[in-house]
Amino acid sequence: MRDVYIAAAAVEPFGKHPDRNAGELGQAALRRLFASIDLDPGRVDIGFGGSTFGGSLLTQRAMQGVGISGPPMFTIENACASGGSAVNLAFSAVAAGSSDCAIAFGAENLSSLGGGALPLSAKDIEADLGMVMPAAYAMRAQRYLSDFGAKSDVLDAVTEKNRANGAHNPRAHFQKTVTVDEVRASRSVADPLRLLHCCPNTDGAAALLIGTRELIEELGQPAVRIVASITRSGQFNNGYRDMTWPDITARSATAAYAMAGIQPGDVDFAELHDAFSISELLHAEALGFADRGDAHRRTLNGDFHRGGPLPLNPSGGLLSRGHPVGATGVTQICESYWQLVGESEPELQLGSVRTALTHVTGGGIFGVDNGACSIHILRSE
């Protein structure tokens, strides 16, 4: 397997873009990507676009906007992990030697769906009974708080932390801090989750150029290697699952750490899937960043703040950036890349960091924790 590097990253700022469809948003991110490097688009030999609601042939529509047509292109739908899955496939193509210069992007326009909870498949038995994603995470939250003696204050604290991080991110949907009092005053969506415990519906796109060591040297780009790239599906189980233990994330993380040859303690910071405040606690534990049932204490202790020993979601997370479903997994990697090469905005930039983990997971279907999960580990060399 060949070593695989990130050669360039670009994000079309997230927010409300009702006048641009997913293909147009993807084009905008790709134009930013090519504006940042001196590369003939004809060199791109494969493309993967992640999107859940972007429609047929999204990848072709977006890539045509930067003069790329002809090479193999694939549009990847894997719910919230669509973008991470697209990166995983681009990684695999370069690692296998079938591609030297690959594009992976994610793009989504959720404004076209109207407001409220994202639509789930009507064919799903739980959706047919009125299940919505906030309710699924609300039940996990109730059980987590009950099992581990945590108080709902910790959910407020996660939102406060991530919104404070996102306040410095010019690419975030929400660039404004919130206080815990404002979180508690927001309307209830599904007890114990309130509106400000939930990420917003957002439009946006992000893109990566992924290639060989030779490619980054030719472009004069810094060396950030993808040392792990993993996608897993949810294990179908109708029994008494522990819903406070996201097993798909735990299995993906075990595989990613083995691929990278590192331990959770070697990670300097992480961008993880905080679609709801409770998600950050569940995923911090499943990723090995906190002992079982201890993420709530570690959060309140400030361990996951940007000044703490393990910053989580220093770019603001989904709670600030928003969640243009297919773009989320790609933008996490863009933000982490800029941290590792020291090109984040001064207010966003962490101190000396070398190893980053990104984690995206989702898909609300019956019988699994999530439908799909992608984890990437990046290391600056």
A 10 A CB-CB count for 58 gives 29
The Cα 150–Cα 160 span in angstroms is: 17
The Cα 326–Cα 294 span in angstroms is: 31
151 binds other proteins (CB under 8 A): no
A 10 A CB-CB count for 143 gives 14
A 10 A CB-CB count for 282 gives 25
Q: Which residue, among 20, 74, 113, 81, has the nearest Cα to 246 in the 3D structure?
A: 81
A 10 A CB-CB count for 320 gives 30
* Residue choice 138, 196, 250, 340 for contact with other proteins (CB under 8 A): 138
Asked if residues 253 and 288 have their Cβ atoms less than 8 Å apart, the reply is yes
Asked if residues 198 and 162 have their Cβ atoms less than 8 Å apart, the reply is no
Q: Which residue, 126 or 294, is less far from other proteins as judged by CB?
A: 126
Q: Least distance from C-beta 128 to other proteins, angstroms?
A: 5
Q: Which residue, 192 or 222, is less far from other proteins as judged by CB?
A: 192
Q: How far is CA 1 from CA 91, 92, 263, 372, in A?
A: 10, 9, 21, 24
117 binds other proteins (CB under 8 A): yes
Q: Which stretch binds other proteins (CB under 8 A): 24-32, 136-144, 178-186, 323-331?
A: 136-144
Q: How far is CA 82 from CA 151, 323, 363, in A?
A: 33, 12, 10
Asked if residues 123 and 364 have their Cβ atoms less than 8 Å apart, the reply is no
Here's the x/- map for other proteins, 305-344, by CB under 8 A: it reads as: ----------------------------------------
126 binds other proteins (CB under 8 A): yes
The Cα 291–Cα 345 span in angstroms is: 32
H helices then E strands: how many in the chain?
Answer: 13, 11
Told to judge if 373 belongs to the known catalytic residues of this protein, a careful annotator would answer no
The Cα 316–Cα 159 span in angstroms is: 9
Which secondary structure element, helix H or strand E, spans residue 142, and what is its range? helix 133-148
Q: Which residue, among 108, 120, 111, 114, has the nearest Cα to 51 in the 3D structure?
A: 108
Here's the x/- map for other proteins, 63-102, by CB under 8 A: it reads as: ----------------------------------------
Q: Least distance from C-beta 139 to other proteins, angstroms?
A: 4
Return the residues of window 220-279 that contact other proteins according to CB under 8 A.
236-241, 243
Q: Which stretch binds other proteins (CB under 8 A): 116-124, 314-322, 338-346, 373-381?
A: 116-124
Q: Which residue, 181 or 236, is less far from other proteins as judged by CB?
A: 236
122 binds other proteins (CB under 8 A): yes
Q: Is 42 exposed, middle or buried (0-12, 13-18, 19+ CB in 10 A)?
A: exposed
Q: Which residue, 114 or 265, is less far from other proteins as judged by CB?
A: 114
116 binds other proteins (CB under 8 A): yes
Q: Least distance from C-beta 149 to other proteins, angstroms?
A: 13
Q: Which residue, 56 or 238, is less far from other proteins as judged by CB?
A: 238
* Residue choice 111, 142, 315, 370 for contact with other proteins (CB under 8 A): 142
Length of the chain: 381
The catalytic residue among 80, 101, 199, 334 is: 80
Q: Least distance from C-beta 133 to other proteins, angstroms?
A: 10
Distance of CA 8 to the CA centre of its chain: 17
Q: Least distance from C-beta 159 to other proteins, angstroms?
A: 18
199 binds other proteins (CB under 8 A): no
130 binds other proteins (CB under 8 A): yes
188 binds other proteins (CB under 8 A): yes
Q: Which residue, 242 or 381, is less far from other proteins as judged by CB?
A: 242
Q: Which residue bears the tokens 């975030």? A: 172
Residues of this chain that bind other proteins (CB under 8 A): 116-117, 119, 122, 125-132, 134-135, 138-140, 142-143, 146-147, 187-193, 236-241, 243, 366-367
- Could you give the residue numbers annotated as active site? 80
